[in-house]
Amino acid sequence: MLDAAEKKRLVKKARQLRERIVEVTFTCGGAHIGGAFSQHDILVALYYKYLRLDPAQPAWSERDRFVLSKGHGGIGHAVILADKGYYADKLLDEFNKTGSPFGMHLDRLKVPGVDASTGSLGHGIGIAVGMALGARVTGKSYRTYCLIGDGECHEGSVWESAMAAAHFKLANLTCFVDRNGFSLDGPTEKIMALEPLDKKFEAFGWRVLQIDGHDFDAICGAIEEAQRERERPVMVIAKTIKGKGVDFMESKTGWHYGGLDDEMKRKALESIRRTYPD
Ligand SMILES: Cc1ncc(C[n+]2csc(CCOP(=O)(O)OP(=O)(O)O)c2C)c(N)n1
């Protein structure tokens, strides 16, 4: 259990950055906002409590690695990296505009702090497996964290990577599934059923934890449990809500991607402030 002050700090940070996601979505004209909100609390826990990083040295070889395998959530990652000091937040006013270093999917060669260029679903987890194996081969102590979408689990390469991670006993790898129940155009279970997802990853040789992906006690507890694991990679299936925090977006297929006008922006910010009061 987190102490009350620590929990308050994380909730406040998550709220402040949710608001920033709304603002950047407004300025850039449209983004994958639903999935940015479902993944958000996991990223906040990682970046504000666990990842060993130095924003002044993005290429520090001992840094922990983080791969956002569902690269369309890049807007959520970008606001966090700005807040951590990797670059000026002002740069996000140009997010996804012509000539900006920030595309919808973040490019590791253009955006400091990004460890892998992702966006083509199914690839990031394989890159994370390589990073985790790389730590072992080079004798480094960094840990690798990865976040995949549940819709992304429809990609065969996720399962090839899962097989490899277990084969190599990559206990230094922790992966989250952002289990919001939706892919781009509908519920995952209608498009192609994933359940029982926990049993599938277990059968592939992973240790599986199941949590509420918006509860900081649960997220932090799972990360610490994964850090204690010595034999297997850990898959944290995090039950989340697509669009979490904005009432009119929550669990609505249409909010996989969207833009905001003035009125929608106002309502979105209001909803976030109502959901996460001071
Ligand atoms: C290889 C590949 N196929 C299709 C797409 C288009 N696409 C973008 S997001 C998305 C849905 C992914 O669903 P999920 O991983 O659950 O994302 P979330 O709901 O968390 O946003 C799809 C199919 C893609 N980016 N890459």
Place of tokens 């993944």: 39
38 touches ligand 1 (CB under 6 Å)? yes
| Cβ contact 67:146 at 8 Å | yes
Residues of the domain holding 95: 4-275
Cα 182 to ligand 1 centroid, rounded to whole Å: 9
C-alpha to C-alpha distance for 235 and 207, rounded to whole angstroms: 6
Return the CATH number at 29.
3.40.50.970
Cα 36 to ligand 1 centroid, rounded to whole Å: 12
For the CA of 152, the closest atom of ligand 1 is: 15
Place of tokens 């990004």: 114
For the CA of 188, the closest atom of ligand 1 is: 16
36 touches ligand 1 (CB under 6 Å)? no
For the CA of 182, the closest atom of ligand 1 is: 19
How many domains are there within the chain? 1
C-alpha to C-alpha distance for 224 and 221, rounded to whole angstroms: 5
DSSP sequence for 177-227: EEE-SB-SSSBHHHHS---SHHHHHHHTT-EEEEEETT-HHHHHHHHHHHH
> Can you give the pLDDT at residue 60?
98
Whether the per-residue pLDDT at 215 is higher than 90: the answer is yes
> Can you give the pLDDT at residue 177?
99
40-83: pLDDT as tens digits: 999 999 999 999 999 999 999 999 999 999 999 999 999 999 99
Whole-model pTM? 0.98
124 touches ligand 1 (CB under 6 Å)? no
3-state secondary structure of 94: helix
Cα-based angle 106, 112, 117 (whole degrees, multiple of 5): 30
271 touches ligand 1 (CB under 6 Å)? no
DSSP sequence for 243-269: TTT-TTTTT-GGGSSB---HHHHHHHH
4-44: pLDDT as tens digits: 999 999 999 999 999 999 999 999 999 999 999 999 999 99
Residue 117, both tokens = 């260029």
- Cα Rg for the chain, rounded, in angstroms? 18
Cα 61 to ligand 1 centroid, rounded to whole Å: 30
C-alpha to C-alpha distance for 189 and 183, rounded to whole angstroms: 9
For the CA of 178, the closest atom of ligand 1 is: 20
